[in-house]
Chain A
Amino acid sequence: MWSGACRPFKTLTGSLFSGPRCARYARWRTAPIRGFSAGKGDDFFKDVESELKKFRAKAAAALPGSDWTPLVVNPALPPERADVVIVGGGVVGWSVAYWLKKKERIRDGVRVVVVERDPTYSQASTVLSVGGIRQQFSMPENIHMSMFSCDFMRNINEHLDVMNEDPVDLQFNHAGYLFLASENGAEIMEHNYNIQRGEGAKVSLLSPTQLKNKFPWINTEGVVLASYGMENEGWFDPWALLNAFRKKAISMGVYQCFGEVTGLQCTSREMMTAEGEPVEFKRIHHVIVRMPNSLESQPVECGLVVNGYKMETWRNNSYLFTGIGTGCKDTMAGIPLPVEPRKRYVYVFHCPNGPGLEMPLLIDPSGAYARREGLGGNFLGGMSPSEEEEHDASDLEVDHDFFQEKVWPKLGHRVPDFQNIKVRSAWAGYYDYNTFDQNGILGIHPLVNNMYLATGFSGHGLQQSPATGRAVAELILDGGFKTLDLTALGLGRLFSGERMLERNIV
């Protein structure tokens, strides 16, 4: 306002002194006055303007409706009280948060806090994953979870659209999964196929000749049967899904906190079983969250804790703070959670004459897999090693020799075009491996009354995350499973010793 008033004055003086005789005088009069900052000329008006701005900001803070307090509080701390604390900000954690907010019947009915240790997600399984989704499982529960997740992703803009944001684009490639079976696995594949068709998955079996007709670049030597998913299978961008869940959940009122859970304060109650053995029931009442790069921590009083994170061997797992796994060997308290991180490598290679756009995610009978990445002739490939040859999971360094010795021979044998490739890059990520039966663990722990677990998915956590989130939200808010009955994935099987084996692990 003030500076605007000077402009007509300057142009006026400029026009008065614009003749050739007065040129030097004009230049002197109209040159910007670079005086001292005591407030002469232009600077004076600019100072007044900035002072006015500061005054306006202070006035807004003093009026009611502002969040100014005289006691400066770290704004990154989580709230002191919450209803549900979700430990782990991966796709499973945010999916649970979204579904909790979606299913609450009144606005702000449930206060949800998601605690994530690493804001860069540098080691998170979600973002390091290959991003495939398939319905070709052997357990009906897994098939239905994948089918629901596919339905969810098809209508993702109905579910996760946020006002004034771009529509969600998952970059979904519908190329399907192609499992190949040798003599040993053909019977299992046929049995699985019948289960999958029975549950409504659109899968078809191909003989070697049909396979060769459809995909001429495959070497069908040793292949007896192939199972090809025709609909609702493919791969997508996991970071897009994570961010979609996160944005929508935050827009619905979920609190996001970056920090590490360093302790769980529990109260415990000793009770006797019918046989007279003492059992200790615990109940978590506080979650201690420590801020990143700081000693400051905040105890969050909570009603429920949901564990949606992957297990790590070299840090204290937060569930251990409750004492699970540290009791006597024969009791329930002595059985630890059988989930551990397993390192998996993904290699990106370029093949000039590789299979074209129609290439599905091909899985060799040996376990080596490859899929197309983008449109530039790049492919992703990898392999899950056998139990004896598991990689050391202490860090995420890539072993390129594994590709040279184990993966490339298999892929080159199966797809002859892959004998001429060049490795562009590679990364490593963790599988949340369930050593008991390679299936997810979903439910309440019997000894800790208010801890829900959603972990151990062994490589298919991402593709089942919408269904997992909904299942946990139903357990919390409705008290039981309402849409998909996933009691088979509960913790009871860990204690009864009954394995729910998933035969189709990639």
Chain B
Amino acid sequence: MAAPMMARFGGRVSAWLSVPYRLCSSAPRAAPPRPPLRTRLLLFLYRRFYDVENLVTWSAALKLWNLRRKNAYYGYTQQLYGDGVAAAYYILSLRGGVRFSGQSDWIRPNSRGRFSWDFMEFRDVPIEEVDASGTEINYRGLDNLAPLSSLRSLSLSRCPHVDDWFLARLHVFSQSLEELSVLPSSDRGAALLQ
């Protein structure tokens, strides 16, 4: 069946799969929707020309590189300023929100993605709540959050890269985490959250 051009990440394909699948019924399946002209044209050119194939491959690789850059491990920051500051900077750079223990206000970036550096005052204060909903957090980014031993609440709704592997790694928070909000991608995801 036709999958979209840039569907290198499983999460984005679901937007195109608007046709319900009837796995066990004998009724004839509805034909999958034809992708728009732009996609079909790009696919035709991809198949015919090596240049187009290279350009498409490079643009997908660029997207992946960007994702990896956003989820890089802030090891140097951790060494210099501590785990809390590194994790806070990481979450804020992803446009998420952080709340430190003892504070009632959330620290969030504004609509343009800019945030103040006030969180640097809280070097030794543990982070209690992290709101990463709608961000591009993924498995590699959990390296930044893993040292947070007193994390109480983690919100992961609407994150496109939170998959079963990500959820399986959340066991590192099993001691302290009280509230976890996530939309699991499959029924196997529900098994992981045991």
Q: Could you tell me which A residues sit within 8 Å of B by CB distance? A: 107, 154, 157-158, 161, 163-167, 169, 171-175, 230-231, 234, 356-358, 375
Contacts and interface: CB of A to CB of B under 8 A. Distances in A.
Contacts of B168: 174, 231, 234
B158 interface: no
A295 to B, nearest CB: 38
9 contacts: A158-B8, A158-B64, A163-B46, A164-B2, A167-B9, A167-B13, A173-B191, A231-B169, A357-B194
A165 B10 contact: no
B115 to A, nearest CB: 30
Nearest to B43: A164
A167 B7 contact: yes
Contacts of A230: 171
B10 A169 contact: yes
Contacts of A375: 187
Nearest to B167: A174
Contacts of A174: 164-165, 167-168, 188, 191-192
A358 B165 contact: no
Nearest to B8: A161
A471 to B, nearest CB: 24
A193 B141 CA distance: 27
B12 to A, nearest CB: 9
Interface in B140-189: 164-165, 167-169, 171, 187-188
A163 B1 CA distance: 11
B140 to A, nearest CB: 10
A181 B64 CA distance: 43
B5 interface: yes
Contacts of A163: 5, 43, 46, 56
A164 B3 contact: yes
Nearest to B4: A164
Nearest to B163: A154
A163 B35 CA distance: 14
Given A157-B9, A172-B164, A231 B171 contact: yes
A154 B3 contact: no
Interface in B1-28: 1-3, 5, 7-10, 13
Interface string B48-81: 0010000010000000100000000000000000
B151 to A, nearest CB: 18
Contacts of A175: 191
A167 B43 CA distance: 16
Majority DSSP secondary structure for residues of A touching B: loop
B119 interface: no
A174 B194 CA distance: 11
A157 B12 CA distance: 12
Instruction: Pick from A163, A165, A357 the residue with the most CB of B within 10 Å.
Output: A163
A328 to B, nearest CB: 53
Given A164-B43, A231-B169, A231-B171, A171 B188 contact: yes
B7 A173 contact: no
B191 A157 contact: no
A163 B7 CA distance: 8
A346 to B, nearest CB: 21
A161 B9 CA distance: 9
B190 interface: yes
A171 B187 CA distance: 10
B8 A357 contact: no
Contact of A154 (B7, B165, B190): B165
Contacts of B9: 157, 167
A492 B71 CA distance: 43
B190 A166 contact: no
Contacts of B8: 157-158, 161, 167
Instruction: Pick from A173, A174, A358 the residue with the most CB of B within 10 Å.
Output: A174
Contacts of A158: 8, 64
A169 B46 CA distance: 24
A174 B169 CA distance: 10
A330 B188 CA distance: 55
Nearest to B174: A230
Given A171-B188, A174-B191, A230-B171, 19 more contacts: A157-B8, A157-B9, A158-B64, A161-B7, A161-B8, A163-B56, A164-B3, A164-B43, A166-B1, A167-B9, A167-B10, A167-B13, A173-B191, A174-B164, A174-B167, A174-B192, A231-B171, A357-B194, A358-B194
Contacts of B190: 357
A135 to B, nearest CB: 13
A167 B64 contact: no
Contacts of B2: 164
A167 B13 CA distance: 8
A231 B174 CA distance: 13
Interface in B77-131: none
Nearest to A372: B191
Contacts of B43: 163-164
Contacts of B56: 163
Contacts of B64: 158
Nearest to B9: A157
B61 to A, nearest CB: 9
- Rank and list the top 7 A-B pairs by shortest CB-CB distance, nearest first: A174-B168, A357-B191, A358-B194, A167-B10, A154-B165, A161-B8, A174-B192
A375 B187 CA distance: 9
Nearest to B194: A358
A165 B191 contact: no
A200 B7 CA distance: 32
Nearest to A234: B168
A166 B7 CA distance: 8
Nearest to A375: B187
A172 B64 CA distance: 22
